[in-house]
Structure 1
Amino acid sequence: MSLLISEPPLIVLPSLARLVGLNEAIILQQVHYWLQRSSNIKDGHRWVYNSYPNWYKQMPVWKSETTMRTAFKRLEKQGLLITANYNKAGFDKTKWYRIDYDKLSSLENKLPSAKNWQTTSQNLADGTAKNWQTNTNRLPETTSENNNKHSASHSNAQSVSQLENEFEEVWSKYPNKKGKKQAFNHYKAWRKSSTKHTNEYLLDQLNKYLVYCQQNNSWYHPMNGSTWFNGRFDDVLITENVSNKPKKRIYD
């Protein structure tokens, strides 16, 4: 069924939802998620900043952005969500947020059972509780401060993963598997230096090299992988009418 879980879920503790309301619990959990990853420390506290439209994109569970704004304002009114403006530009009204963990902890103590919340005396650099249980799934990370950085890192992670797979395709066929780490570094640099540097080209060069190695196996040994991947795949090879003693030998 389409309404059962088939996409990343929003997860919050039921006890938190009972305490502050479901909409508010979703917001608190997501703000907490980002606070633990924030490097913005102002006046002794960690802060995270974002615009309402970006929060709405990140938590698309409400029928309208207005409903989400109302939940934010309720949390601010209760003093659970503290706001400030540390923007460098005076016209920039983007809100900065932090959670008043002490107030949240005092409310938690009023619950009949608080076993699911982990609080300890260990503190972050800003003095807030360090080990509050984080139950939010890794949602689309679109805070204003992290969106560009995350997009770049996510794209880079995908790029590296793809390069690793394509490198393995070539490496698995290469005859002398010495210096794999260096070979991969050379391969990455070569691939990223031009869009014309494709795996298809490298595989074609490798096939020619394998033919050369086979035709000259009585005297020639394949060079180390780290050497061949360092631009030696572009060596000009003679693969027809090769004599037993070539005019020029290719060294490692």
Structure 2
Amino acid sequence: MTEKVERPNYYAIIPASVRYDNNLPGKSSLLYGEITALCNQKGYCWASDSYFADLYGVAKSTIQTWLKALEINGHISRDVIYKEGTREIEHRYIRISVGGIPKNQSTPTPKNQRENNTSINTTVNNTSNKKHSAANATPLVQLEKDFEEIWQAYPNKKGKGQAFNHYKAWRKKSVDHTNEYLFNKLDRYKQYIKLNSNWYHPLNGATWFNGRFTDDYELTSSGNSSNNTAPQTREDWFG
């Protein structure tokens, strides 16, 4: 029996971070847009793989591939509720990650039944790079907490949503990507700002967290001397 999901009348939102993400296969970006439209109704998307497969005329396995790519690249998060005492899925909730449509914190997802698919994906792919897998296992709630800690210390709080998306993608690359590392970089950056406060203004948070923390700032009082050329590619930032 075909699942009955009312087609949303809201606009779909596909930000540049999704449109130009070369890691997304097929029509993943269009699927993301459909998810944003459904999220506008209740704050989360509840549609099944069958619904999306019928919508785009593809196999459910293709939808699963697109969803996994969106999740791994930090654009969505997924929570699954199983029927009590079984591994049979009762409900699934898809949410837009921070930086897209705001998450609905009142979504009816009991903590004792919730399982984040990130950890499932990590288990399935346990033959891949161990550091990358371990980093992907970090719960979203922990990443949000860690980000808030360093965000509070950052001097120019603009572009928080984008900053978090960049931070999350960076953290998921390796277990060596830690807040301790970022705080060391931030301390040095603050020193640079102080030394050059007569002409230099801190970067927007969205910019600094997008790999600019790797810039080499010269800590001298010689004015505007700094080797802080921005990385040219995403690989330079997160390689």
Q: TM-score of the superposition, structure 2-length normalised?
A: 0.42
Larger Rg: 1
Q: TM-score of the superposition, structure 1-length normalised?
A: 0.40
